[in-house]
């Protein structure tokens, strides 16, 4: 899928120095990257053809799926996953250098909701009852703190953000659990696997499965058997609301195999025979353990 002489334009959840930016530079380098303020803005940029790719967070090891991304992929435009990158996430609390001496007097802590949630025990213990303010990304929080030097506020984000926005890291590694990783996905209008050095050997396929209308008992069991007896290894299954009524769900299923594998072709046919509606987000390689900053 990759053409070596072509520099793709890539929308990412910005501003500069967000975790998504780090993931984007790891995969694409620094040329052609275009920050967008929100996940829907990234998705729309690629869906409307303003950029070749978008990279957005999909799932965090502590907080689970990023609902905005999942819901836009199911209910929104026809986009495909071309690659996945997983990075370790290290959260630090940072203040304006002007406030370095007054960390104990912080009046609000700003960050992306996932980042605040990843540090909630720390915040409960260290900044009990200090208001938590949600921002569109960790880097947006760091930028806001840098632009408001007289306010007693802090941001939670990565080391690159502290450097980029000239902030002082007051305390390091404040995430509550050691294993804190996030999966980011590269999206485009085209199916296909981005081949970048160091990718996983086995591709992954993401399916979004809607159950048949008749709601018969045992249907989820039947769906799981489709994969089980073919020895297709599922790496994730999760339900999300269909948004049509309480108790109505669709399922996100990740399988460690390419959609072109004969076993997967058989699995798709069997799911259709079970009257399931299946939306394939495509097959893609994954990149793991890229160190964060
Ligand atoms: O705010 C950022 O820096 C992001 O890239 C977003 C995001 C997320 O949506 O989960 C990415 C990784 C971290 O888990 C925290 C926030």
Q: Are residues 30 and 153 in the same domain?
A: no
Pocket test for ligand 1, best of 19, 24, 135 (most atoms within 8 A of CB): 19
Tell me, what's the pLDDT at 200? Answer: 78
Domain final residue pick, 157, 188, 219 = 188
Tell me, what's the pLDDT at 238? Answer: 95
For the chain, the C-alpha Rg in angstroms (whole number) is 21
| Residue 278 belongs to domain spanning | 204-287
Phi and psi, residue 28, nearest 5° = -115, -5
Which atom of ligand 1 is closest in space to residue 13's alpha carbon? Answer: 5
Phi and psi, residue 100, nearest 5° = -50, -40
Q: What is the CATH number of the domain that holds 57?
A: 3.40.190.10
Q: What is the pLDDT of residues 27-57, one digit of tens each?
A: 999 999 999 999 999 999 999 999 999 999 9
Angle subtended at Cα 187 by Cα 182 and Cα 191, rounded to the nearest 5 degrees: 130
State the pTM of this model.
0.93
Tell me, what's the pLDDT at 195? Answer: 86
Q: What is the pLDDT of residues 56-115, one digit of tens each?
A: 999 999 999 998 899 899 888 799 999 999 999 999 999 999 999 999 999 999 999 999
Tell me, what's the pLDDT at 206? Answer: 97
Domain annotation covers residue 259: yes
ipTM: 0.96
Number of domains in the chain: 3
Domain annotation covers residue 23: yes
Please give all residues whose beta carbon lies within 6 A of any atom in ligand 1, as ranges. Answer: 13, 18-20, 57, 60, 66, 89, 112, 114-115, 137-139, 182
State the average pLDDT for the chain.
Answer: 93
Tell me, what's the pLDDT at 8? Answer: 74
Rounded to the nearest 10 degrees, what angle do helices 262-273 and 219-228 cross at?
Answer: 160
Domain annotation covers residue 198: no
CA of 129 to the centre of ligand 1 (A): 23
Residues 262-281 have a mean pLDDT of: 96
End-to-end CA distance of the chain: 30
Q: Are residues 184 and 218 in the same domain?
A: no
User: Residue 179 pLDDT > 70, yes or no?
Assistant: yes
Pocket test for ligand 1, best of 20, 143, 184 (most atoms within 8 A of CB): 20
Q: What is the pLDDT of residues 208-263, one digit of tens each?
A: 999 988 778 899 999 999 999 999 999 999 999 999 989 889 999 999 999 999 99
């Amino acid at each position: 899928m990759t053409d070596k002489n072509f520099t793709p334009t890539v929308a990412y959840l910005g501003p500069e120095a967000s975790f998504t930016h780090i993931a984007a530079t790891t995969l694409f380098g620094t040329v052609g990257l275009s920050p967008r303020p929100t996940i829907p803005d990234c998705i729309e940029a690629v869906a409307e053809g303003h950029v070749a790719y978008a990279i957005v967070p999909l799932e965090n090891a502590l907080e689970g799926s990023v609902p905005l991304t999942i819901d836009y992929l199911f209910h929104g435009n026809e986009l495909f996953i071309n690659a996945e990158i997983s990075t370790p996430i290290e959260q630090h609390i940072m203040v304006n250098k002007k406030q370095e001496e007054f960390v104990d007097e912080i009046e609000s802590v700003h960050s992306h909701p996932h980042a605040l949630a990843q540090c909630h025990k720390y915040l409960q213990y260290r900044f009990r009852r200090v208001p938590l303010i949600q921002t569109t990304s960790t880097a947006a929080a760091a930028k806001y703190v840098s632009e408001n030097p007289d306010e007693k506020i802090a941001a939670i984000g990565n080391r690159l953000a502290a450097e980029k926005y000239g902030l002082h890291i007051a305390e390091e590694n404040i995430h509550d659990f050691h294993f804190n990783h996030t999966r980011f996905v590269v999206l485009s209008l085209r199916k296909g696997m981005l081949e970048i050095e160091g990718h996983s050997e086995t591709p992954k396929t993401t399916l979004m499965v809607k159950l048949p209308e008749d709601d018969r008992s045992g249907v989820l069991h039947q769906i799981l058997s489709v994969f089980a007896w073919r020895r297709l290894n599922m790496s994730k299954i999760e339900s999300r609301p269909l948004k049509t009524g309480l108790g109505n769900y669709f399922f996100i299923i990740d399988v460690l195999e390419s959609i072109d594998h004969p076993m997967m072709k058989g699995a798709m046919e069997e799911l259709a025979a079970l009257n399931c509606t299946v939306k394939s987000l495509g097959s893609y390689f994954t990149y793991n353990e890229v160190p964060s900053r």
